[in-house]
Chains A and B, each alone.
Chain A
Amino acid sequence: MTRTATRRLKPAVATTLAAGAILGSVATPALAATGTGTADQAAKQAACLAVVQQHAKDLIAARQRSLDALTTEVDGAAHLTTTDRAAISTVISSTRSGLTSLAATLAAATTCQQAHAADARIFTDLRVYVIVEPQAHLLLAVDHGLDGLTHLQTAADTIATAITAANTDGKDTVPAQAALKDLQARIADAAGQLATAHTEAAALTPSAFNADHDVTAPARLAARTGRQDILAAVADVRAAVADLKK
């Protein structure tokens, strides 16, 4: 689901310019002073309304397609917890409802200004690309991390048992014990980071983004740190195993 900002931005900018030019003409006092000007104004209002309605229709359709793709992705994510799956589905469902409602509002608009107001709500109320999709992917990421921790805990338990057996044999296990200690610390830290990432991700809303455009950063930072812990823990497992096999 790779998208480029450019691809999304260009049509929007073009439509903004077109609608803005029409609106500017509508508001020209000189034209409004004559009968012909009034007719022109009405025609331009109608043209502006059509432009904005079509633009909004395209925006809504693109977002519905993105939500379709996200739904498919979430449905196929076997590692996702039941709670997170339900939460993401709820957000997708409510966002779809919001888009459908806005589509109806836009279709019923009789002035360019009304259409503009409804069009703006596609962004401010729903935030498909800056909140809904990132939020879902953050939760998917966290759940992958939690799966990783489950595997690492299995590895830690296995290594602890192997160290005990090796100690019984009189083998020097100091390096393996050090690796195990670091492994356990990494697991604990990763668990904390992933919990933070989950909490931050779960709290994301369009209104939070409207107040702070960097609102997803804490969740991403925590998830990234958790991943680094997991990679370090994997290295610890390999180090402990290598020492025990000496």
Chain B
Amino acid sequence: MALAACAPRAGTAAPAAPHRTPAPVSTAGRASAAPTAASRTDGTGTTRANSPGAAPDVLDSAAAAALRAADDAGRDATALDQDLSQSTPSSEGTNP
């Protein structure tokens, strides 16, 4: 029986799966978690102006999110490989 009704998926709607739910990102212990505005406080308590347009926290956050997504994609690739290894036809044996 062919699976004629089985159209390729668009690839955007991912059903919920435990391993695909990104873990909440903890900011605990991150010294630069709060000051994303025009100034920041250094380790001596001195308030300094940010470098022009710099938004390291934004970049850090984006980088972390991108890496998490890449990790998830890597896990999917591993799972794909495992499924693929089971897709090789095995012997049916011989019939009498």
Judge if A241 is at the interface, Cβ distance under 8 Å: yes
CB of B92 within 8 A of CB of A230, answer no
A145 contact from B20, B58, B77, B89, Cβ within 8 A: B77
Stretch at the interface among A28-36, A38-46, A199-207: A199-207
Q: Is B62 engaged at the interface, CB distance under 8 Å to the other chain?
A: yes
A122 to B96 Cα, complex, angstroms: 11
Most central of B2, B9, B12 by chain A CB within 10 Å: B9
Residue of B nearest to A166 (CB): B59
A140 engages B83 (CB within 8 Å)? yes
The answer to whether A8 touches B91, judged by C-beta atoms less than 8 angstroms apart, is: yes
Task: Contact check, B2 vs A129: say whether CB atoms are below 8 A apart.
Answer: no
CA distance A79 to B79 in the complex (A): 11
Q: Which of the four size classes fits the interface of chain B?
A: 35 or more
Which residues of B, 56-77, contact A by the 8 Å Cβ criterion? 58-60, 62-63, 65-67, 69-70, 72-74, 76-77
Within the assembled complex, what's the spacing in Å between the Cα atoms of A140 and B63? 30
Known: A135-B87, A139-B6, A234-B73. 16 other contacts (CB 8 A): A59-B93, A123-B95, A127-B92, A129-B91, A133-B87, A133-B90, A141-B84, A143-B9, A150-B12, A165-B59, A209-B89, A220-B84, A227-B84, A231-B74, A237-B70, A238-B70
Which B residues fall within an 8 A CB radius of A? 1-9, 11-18, 20, 51-55, 58-60, 62-63, 65-67, 69-70, 72-74, 76-77, 79-81, 83-84, 86-96
29 A-B residue pairs with Cβ-Cβ distance under 8 Å, sorted by A, are: A3-B90, A55-B96, A78-B17, A79-B79, A84-B6, A120-B95, A133-B86, A134-B89, A141-B79, A144-B80, A145-B80, A148-B80, A150-B13, A151-B73, A153-B11, A154-B66, A161-B62, A170-B53, A198-B6, A199-B8, A202-B2, A203-B3, A205-B1, A209-B89, A223-B87, A230-B80, A234-B73, A234-B74, A240-B66
